[in-house]
Amino acid sequence: MTVIAQRVRRFVPTGRRQETARVVCPVDNWSFAPKFTNGVCPLCGYKPEGVEFHAPFAARVDWFWPSMAFMLAASIAMGVLVILAYGHK
Ligand SMILES: [Zn+2]
């Protein structure tokens, strides 16, 4: 691995360590990756101890209203720009 790739990897969260971390549920003997199941067994809801799962910030936030506010602001800005361009001589 090159030095540049190592340095880039430090800033880009690949989550590879968590991705490969698999846990076997003692109740139903099911192997699962806590990263993709919100930290609990998908079959019975068993929460493995010692495995800390925190969803990334972007996944925890409901982006509906922020995106609506952004689209409203963009629409108002576009309207203002059109009015200004129309009145410009
Ligand atoms: Zn289970």
Look up residue 35 and give its two tokens: 């990263």
Distance, CA 52 to ligand 1 centroid (Å)?
17
Distance, CA 29 to ligand 1 centroid (Å)?
7
Q: Does 18 have pLDDT greater than 60?
A: no
- Residue indicated by tokens 């109740």: 27
Distance, CA 64 to ligand 1 centroid (Å)?
33
- Torsion (CA) 82, 84, 87, 88 in degrees, nearest 10: -110
pLDDT of residue 17: 55
Q: Give CA–CA dist 44/67, Å, rounded.
A: 35
Q: Give CA–CA dist 10/3, Å, rounded.
A: 11
pLDDT of residue 38: 83
Look up residue 57 and give its two tokens: 């910030």
pLDDT digits (tens, 9 = 90+) for 31-81: 988 888 888 899 998 888 877 777 778 888 899 999 999 999 999 999 999
